[in-house]
Amino acid sequence: TLGGRGCSEPRLCHRTLQPGQQSKTLLAPRRLLYALCARRGLYCLSLDHPGRSRSTSRDDRDSEDGDQPSPVIPVDPDACILPDAALCAFTVLDSVLVTLVQGPARWKMQLFEQPCPGEDPRPGGQIGEVELSTYTPPAGVPGKPAAPHFLPVLCCVSPSGSRVPCDLLGGPGGFTLEDALFGLLFGADATLLQSPVVLCGLPDGQLCCVILKALVTSRSAPGDPNALVKILHHLEEPVIFIGALKTEPQAAEAAENFLPDEDVHSDCLVALGHHGRMLAIKASWDESGKLVPELREYCLPGPVLCAACGGGGRVYHSTPSDLCVVDLSRGSTLLGPEQPEEGPGGLPPMLYPASLNICSVVSLSASPRTHEGGTKLLALSAKGRLMTCSLDLDSEIPGPARMTTESAGRKIKELLSGIGNISERVSFLKKAVDQRNKALTSLNEAMNVSCALLSSGTGPRPISCTTSTTWSRLQTQDVLMATCVLQNSSSFSLDQGWTLCIQVLTSSCALDLDSACSAITYTIPVDQLGPGARREVTLPLGPGENGGLDLPVTVSCTLFYSLREVVGGALAPSDSEDPFLDECPSDVLPEQEGVCLPLSRHTVDMLQCLRFPGLAPPHTRAPSPLGPTRDPVATFLETCREPGSQPAGPASLRAEFLPPSVASIKVSAELLRAALKDGHSGVPLCCATLQWLLAENAAVDVVRARALSSIQGVAPDGADVHLIVREVAMTDLCPAGPIQAVEIQVESSSLADICRAHHAVVGRMQTMVTEQAAQGSSAPDLRVQYLRQIHANHETLLREVQTLRDRLCTEDEASSCATAQRLLQVYRQLRHPSLILL
């Protein structure tokens, strides 16, 4: 047992080294123990001169219970005969020390001359060197070589006619091959030279060999170094173990009866990879009677921690969960019951690992056949426990029982059914994984879109929605249509889960909180709206069922991302019949339905809905716009009246006998010029003001072309609305002189239409004044006393309005007519203020 600081586990045979581990080789004839310590180098200890030891004397050993404690040999720093932090593996022959060093980019094999017995154990000069395959170092600390996860495996092989005894071939890592297999593997040069060969298993899976005598000779007669290295095979996984064994029944039986000191000639070379891939090479005869190498790969349970070759053609290998044995000899009881045997010298087509019910073995050694007729295994567990395991080679290892045709058919049906169930499960799981990957991608896109919209501020938005209105005739009725255009100017795509929500809110719903009406919301799924794409949606705004259009109408556009549709659909798929997917707990699903991202808010008022039939050329003039749907009885009476008689009805009577209602607002000419300087240069102020008021109306191009300052249009209910823009002078406000102003006057016989048009004009004026006030404009000097008088007059009129409205609720029909007429007169005075917007 070898221990010390930085050495995490002792070694019984050569295996993969981890940082802090070590390997050792006992050279029995010279009584020397060679030990390789990680990141230190190679140490050599003489067992004949232990030096100071804490062992007891012979008399003490013979006393008491006769237990003899093992001597403890302290290791001095001088015992390091070959210091090299990059040294990864070694093997020792009688006169040659072979090492493998990790270079910057390649593995390097070096040969050193061994001193004679009794001399200083330090190796002499280097007698040979060759580079092996390319090595890719793993990532580590910059400036320090990183220790690879797997280190190479070295062992020495000699032909049966070699004069080098087996115990001088590097201890347990050396063996002798039959001449036939040795010549097939390593060629005629190695056979003629009777030279030992070093086998090297690399972490990348390559199994290569180097002829020692050829390597020593190449130092005196240099040649191509690549010709010295021969690649036998590639396991495509790290090589863990290289060994040899007897597979022929007679040879295997004879080998078991050999004494430990006798030389055994193996007829099969094996190499085992970390993931369980095993290579067996044996000399065999082909159909033409020619001797050829037979290579066969097997798949064993993995990952493999260590392995050992035992008697009877058996290979023992350890995994984290079990210690298994496979038999490569012919006529083995581990072959299947229906398995045909190969021809003479052949290898079994399949191997059936048998469990020994021992787990976590990290190092393993198989001893020859004992006097009791069994095989003894020496094993070291991962927890440091050393165990011996005796196996009875004469007893049959249980194998699969023979099956009848009926039971075989039933077994095949069960296996096919199991394969079908597993395939179905894999299909369902793959579908679930695809859904969740798609949901994650969608969530990532939603996060990017949300961040882009929320961080845009007052600048141009990457995703926008614009609203425009136009009149369209459906059957016998004119309908106001709103067109919303969703434009994706971002670099993201709107896919599954996105919905465009358009809410239409009329003025009656917005102003009357007690009304039973509700806003109308349209939801339009957004599917595959990529960067640069646009989606157009057209929807009706009115008239409604009552034949009227409540203005203004607010159209709000919002993007909605459904978390439950995307995330809930991925965590709880719609395939309820799927038996393989676990039900998603309710607390995993998102609490919120989704995420709302406001895009735009557009108000449709009377100025946008006005139509101007008189502006169209005579030959293209369209028929007059139709009003709301009329009562069938009124339509019948209209057709029955005499020609030339005046139409009867509230609208016609109001238009004939009542003067039109008028509302006006005055704005400073200086304020309008400052607000309309962009895009209206060279245009008269009154014309520019009318064009600005009708900027969102479809007839604005005709108004601009004709340079109109007044225009007469038709409201949605069919009543005439007259817009007049003219310049006036306000003489009583400023002591410095008259103030030039622009008066915007609205006339209509319909009191409701005059209110809606006046509301639209005032809304535009409020926006303009707010924008100009932010620029720091200042008002001129005003007559404060005159303003106070005007304000007092307005207060008086407002109090009178409240009094008249209260009186209408208590008076009878005869008295209420006069009250109503007075109320209309007060309203007209309020709609003609003497004030001006500055």
Could you give phi then psi for residue 180, rounded to 5 degrees?
-60, -50
Is the separation of the CB atoms in 270 and 247 below 8 Å? Answer: no
Q: Is residue 540 within 8 Å of 471, Cβ to Cβ?
A: no
Taking alpha carbons only, the member of 304, 310, 301 closest to residue 377 is 310
Q: In 3D, which of 4, 172, 171 has the Cα closest to residue 72? A: 4
Per cent of the chain over pLDDT 70 is 74
Paired residues of 37 in beta bridges = 22, 41
Task: State residue 616's pLDDT score.
Answer: 67
d(CA 470, CA 482): 7
Give me 567's structure tokens: 């995330």
| Nearby residues of 61 by Cβ (< 8 Å), 6 or more positions away | 68
Of 480, 490, 473, 606, nearest to 552 (Cα)? 606
Query: Taking residues 657-679, what's their average pLDDT?
Result: 84
Give the pLDDT mean for 688-695: 92
Asked if omega into 260 is within 30° of 0 (cis), the reply is: no
d(CA 516, CA 541): 19
Same fold, 24-46+75-135+151-249+264-330+347-384 and 433-507+519-571+593-604: no
Average pLDDT over residues 449-473: 87
Q: What is the mean pLDDT of the chain?
A: 78
Q: Give pLDDT tens digits for 60-74.
A: 444 444 455 566 778
Q: What is the mean pLDDT of residues 629-633?
A: 55
- Taking the C-alpha atoms of residue 808 and residue 826, their distance in angstroms, rounded to an integer, is 15
Encode pLDDT of 577-630 as tens digits: 555 445 555 555 556 678 899 999 999 999 999 999 888 655 544 444 544 455
**Residues present in the chain in total:** 838
Q: How do residues 213-235 score in pLDDT, each as one tens digit?
A: 888 776 655 556 667 889 999 99
Peptide bond into 303 cis (omega under 30): yes
Strand, helix or coil for residue 78 = helix
Residue 565: DSSP 8-state: I
DSSP state of 628: S
**Closest alpha carbon to 438 in 565, 575, 523:** 565
pLDDT at site 644: 53
Report the predicted TM-score, pTM, of the whole model to 2 decimal places. Answer: 0.50
Strands 710-714 and 720-730: antiparallel
Helices 784-808 and 813-830: angle between axes, nearest 10 degrees: 160
Alpha helices in 243-319 (DSSP H): 249-257
pLDDT in tens, 283-298: 988 888 888 999 999 9
Give 576 or 310, the one with higher predicted confidence: 310
| Interior/surface letters 260-272, b for 16+ CB within 10 angstroms, e for the rest | eeeebbbbbbbbb
Q: 24-46+75-135+151-249+264-330+347-384 has which fold?
A: Methylamine Dehydrogenase; Chain H (2.130.10)
**What DSSP character marks residue 103?**
-
Considering the four listed CATH numbers 1.20.58.190, 3.40.50.150, 2.60.40.10, 3.40.50.2300, the one that applies to the domain covering 433-507+519-571+593-604 is 2.60.40.10
pLDDT at 365 over 60: yes
Helix (H, G, I), strand (E, B), or coil: what is residue 156?
strand
Mean pLDDT value across residues 297-322:
91
C-alpha 807, offset from chain centre: 73
Domain ranges for the chain: 24-46+75-135+151-249+264-330+347-384, 433-507+519-571+593-604, 658-831
Q: CA-CA distance, 756 to 548, in Å (whole number)?
A: 13
CA-to-CA separations, 234 to 91, 203, 266, 350, 368, in angstroms, rounded: 22, 11, 22, 20, 30
